[in-house]
Chains A and B, each alone.
Chain A
Amino acid sequence: MDFSQIIPAMPGLVDGMLMTLKLLALSVVGGVALGTVLALLRLSSNPLLSGFAKAYVNYFRSIPLLLVITWFYLAVPMLLNWITGSFVSIGAFTSCLVAFMMFEAAYYCEIVRAGIQSISKGQENAAYALGMNYGQAMRLIILPQAFRKMMPLLLQQSIILFQDTSLVYAVGLMDFLNAARSKGDIVGLPHEFLIFAGAVYFVISFGASLSVKRLQKRFAV
């Protein structure tokens, strides 16, 4: 094992990690936003809306993420083509981002739903009694409390997502794992680079889970 070749390869690896983190950050923001909307639909009294949200969540939770990534990579350009009528090349990054956002939204939806349901009914009633409408009650009263409660779960899910971003290997996006693999192949030390990549993922995920646990203790009411 010769790990000395990793240092000269650093710039490429850092680019890969930046790609991974960019994908992660945008997917978390998009996924949580979409997930929150889905959770609100799911809890709505309109059976059509809640039925749609339920079907969406069940659909994405029963298929593998890799299938979604692969499918979107092929389908999104074609769909855009239909809609816009002209050929637009969007690249692997955008299609992966859309895939992650839509897939993770199903998982975030369930977390947000549980969070909202954990807030006592009295909070909502009190908000309405003060004359707030649905939007105000959610935005000012329910969601801020719910998000505070579910923060550890949302972060835990995001750590899982961080690991899952490595699946973009399937469509050839140069994320951290793919960068490590291609650099390793170039210098002829694939094993060393693979171990290094694994170690980096481990340190980040493990460190993040420890911090989440600590945060959970501090947030606990």
Chain B
Amino acid sequence: MQDIDELAAELRTDIEAAGSLDDLEAVRVRALGRKGTITHLMKGLGAMEPEERRAAGTALNVLKDETVVAIEDRRTSLRNLALTEQLATESIDVTLPVRAEGCGRIHPVSQVVDEIVAIFADMGFAVAEGPDIEDDFYNFTALNIPPEHPARQMHDTFYLEAERDGAPLVLRTHTSPVQIRHMRSSPPPYRIIAPGRTFRCDSDMTHTPMFHQVEGLAIGHDIHMGHLKGCLEEFARVMFEDDNLRMRFRPSHFPFTEPSAEVDIGCSRKGKELRIGEGGDWLEILGCGMVHPNVLENVGLDPNEWQGFAFGMGIDRIAMLKYGIPDLRAFFESDLRWLRHYGFAPFDVPTLAGGLAR
């Protein structure tokens, strides 16, 4: 038995002393291998007397189990040590920049169209469309602008080389022809908005030959100017996110509406800075009115039965006002620096529930 105690002490020392996994394995083989010390003692049991064998066997089994556990423990700690050493050599510079990912942007015009659609859709307006190349009838005559009307000259119309019905085709000067197309193609009542491109032969600091408008049209039996005011007030307050936004409806004149109005919103001007909703100044944002009886007749509706309002406003202008974009011309210059700055993240989809703008 003394042999066993001595062996146990010897093995404990050897296991503790093993400095590497290889050393430890050598200790294990020496003790537990086929020719190992413990194995050797185990084999010797057969030659013993039963009494002696029982006692020695028990002691040997204990020794064997203890050795296995001790080796395993030592192995774990050696591994941990090795891993710690390895990790110490594996550090990187986390301050280096990440791989650049493409960063696309939505143009402010698209974003603002989506905002406008979200608001008017909530009031039951559908979205209608029409062609950019229009004929004289849809762009002018049907809208109560006869050939010699002074308003035609004010429109700075682009003409195409092509003609239809004896008059040159035009690039639509406003989105109002969509009203006509819509009313001619489906029965009343109507509630539509029509955003799109419009064209005027004009280019200077504040005008571009192409810009964007949104047209609105609501026709029913009893839609009156009170509805027009209510609709546009609600729109402007949601669009500019100001429930107390001051608004003013001024009498004006458009050939296709009667009565007609221009709409101003409250603002302040300090030097070059314009703030919507503050101060005592006014800023015009759109034109509107009750659809002219002649226009209704031109699309085959009886003005004594059907009536309603129409409006038109500049989308680019709304975008400039809402987002503080100073220069209209920059909208169409495709300058990446401008797009990165004024563009919108693709996942910023305007919704009324989540907010129109981030």
Task: Indicate whether A and B interact.
Answer: no
